Structure 1
Amino acid sequence: MQDVKIKIKDRDGVTHEIDAPTDMNMNLMEVVKSYELAPEGTIGVCGGMAMCASCQCYVHSDHNLPEKSDDEDAMLAEAFYVEDNSRLGCQIHITSELEGLEVELAPES
């Protein structure tokens, strides 16, 4: 089992350095939920289907993430508080390449 260290700034501005497992096929949204870094019902509302943008985050580190899917692009086009570095957490799968990833949860819309 290999975990990666990820820094996540929650919506209150508190940064959490967490260990995210790479062997459980989790995505960033699921990690945020499992560590309870956002109030219940405010993140992952659609269940990780790229249909709600409740898991939008800002990627602050220089990681080579997979390209956005058409669904992710379309959802971000309709979301609030979108920045150039916005991604949907449900579309970022936890892999060993994410060691040191730094993200900030976007404000609740």
Structure 2
Amino acid sequence: MNEPVSICLTLHPAQYRALLKIAENRRVQVHHLIEGLVATALAGGSGRRPRRAGRKVDVDELRRLHAEGLMDRPIAERLGVSVSAIQQHRSALGLVKNSQFGRPKRTASKEG
């Protein structure tokens, strides 16, 4: 079975609010956060996601998510790859690192 399986999850409202707050701080959706927690549990609780051999970075999606102002970790979580893979691709594409406050400010050119 290689296809994703959908499950129904029942949470206490306080648990959902806590997950929602964490997800908002990380700028990801709650289900992406839960998928990350499951991946961590399957990796033995080491905090590392299981390795996905040969997983390719969707460069167009990376550019789109970066343009939305997402930082490297949320982009990696959405694309299912490591943060270092995102950092390497972002650097190779000449994209600057986004700050926690969104896209970096562009400095106004001095005319004159």
- Pairwise same-fold verdict (TM > 0.5): no
Query: Which of structures 1 and 2 has the bigger CA Rg?
Result: 2
More helix by share: 2
TM-score between both structures, scaled by the size of structure 1: 0.26
TM-score between both structures, scaled by the size of structure 2: 0.26
